[in-house]
Amino acid sequence: MQEAGKIVFLHIPRVLGIDFSITLDVVLVWLAALITFLLVYLAGRRKELYATGGYQNFFESIMEFVDENVIQGAMGVHGKAWAPFVLTVFFFILFCNLLGLVPVPGSEENPIFKPITSNINVTATLAVIVIVLSQAVDMKLHGFVGYFKRIAPKGLPLWIFPLVFVLELISKLIARPLSLTLRLFANMLAGHKIIGAFIMLGMMIPWKLCPLKALPLMGTVVMSAFELFVCFLQAFIFTTLTGLYIGEALEEGSH
């Protein structure tokens, strides 16, 4: 069933104004979560202490890359305890992105490809989780008063302290989640729109101009290859910022 430009598998009446219907986007989020669990579980399901086979080596190389550049690089000595969360964020976003390269029944606006991270509600939810978690960690470790003391750097002149405090607070609670939300959303939306445009262009060219059909096909192949790189890049950027924000909260006496 299609409703307001989206596919609805199960319509559920609104509760307190919130729509709990099972839509294509909901199914894709569940699918990405299931794929993340299954693939990572199979990669880690081994008796040996070292990876055996190409599949396990592939996942281990990705994990080592994230560990070296995010968990250790961005979070420092405190990062090891957060490795499961950080790696989960990376792989979940990665598979959400990669699903956009698989043709699925989409909405009226996106009939071919549907990366779930092109839905701003999904990216906003991920961003809010990261920001709330990082601020909660900061407040738990440093206390309510200590949390606010750390917002603005020490040693500022009294006359400029209120301005810097307000700007830093806005940065933590508004600018950061907006940046996380829009960066991932915009990049994934733009990529799959371009791929969809090439496919539609190829379908519109009549068969009597068959040689011209090769041009949109080539464009689709090139953009799909580039989008594969973007899928990894955007997952890594989001994960790196996640590590930085949590690492900042774990620091002691940094302000």
Q: What is the pLDDT of residues 136-179, one digit of tens each?
A: 998 988 888 888 888 877 777 777 878 888 888 898 889 999 99
- Residue 230 pLDDT class (50, 70, 90 cuts): confident
Q: What is the mean pLDDT of residues 46-75?
A: 79
Of 33-37, 82-86, 173-177, 219-223, where does mean pLDDT reach its minimum? Answer: 219-223
Q: Is residue 6 part of a domain?
A: yes
Residue 215 has pLDDT above 80, yes or no: no
One-letter amino acid of 170: I
The reported pLDDT for the residue numbered 7 is 67
Residue 254 has pLDDT above 70, yes or no: no
The reported pLDDT for the residue numbered 216 is 63
The reported pLDDT for the residue numbered 111 is 47
Q: Is residue 198 part of a domain?
A: yes
**Helix or strand (DSSP H, E) at 91:** helix 83-98
The reported pLDDT for the residue numbered 255 is 47
Q: Is residue 93 part of a domain?
A: yes
Residue 252 has pLDDT above 80, yes or no: no
Q: Is residue 218 part of a domain?
A: yes
Residue 1 has pLDDT above 50, yes or no: no
Q: Is residue 16 part of a domain?
A: yes
Q: What is the mean pLDDT of residues 36-48?
A: 79
54-58, 174-178, 221-225 — most confident range: 174-178
Q: Is residue 121 part of a domain?
A: yes
CB burial string 206-216: b at 16+ within 10 A, e below: eeeeeeebeeb
User: What does 57-88 look like in DSSP terms, one character per residue?
Assistant: HHHHHHHHHHIIIIIITTTGGGGGGGHHHHHH
Q: Is residue 114 part of a domain?
A: yes
- Three-state DSSP class for residue 228: helix
Name beta bridge partners: 22: 10
Model-level pTM?
0.82
Q: Tell me which residue range forms the domain holding 192.
A: 2-250
The reported pLDDT for the residue numbered 150 is 82
How many structural domains compose the chain?
Answer: 1
Q: Is residue 255 part of a domain?
A: no
Whether 56 contacts 46, CB under 8 Å: yes
Q: What is the mean pLDDT of residues 233-255?
A: 84
The reported pLDDT for the residue numbered 2 is 42
Of 4-13, 16-25, 50-59, where does mean pLDDT reach its minimum? Answer: 4-13
Of 119-128, 160-169, 213-222, where does mean pLDDT reach its minimum? Answer: 213-222
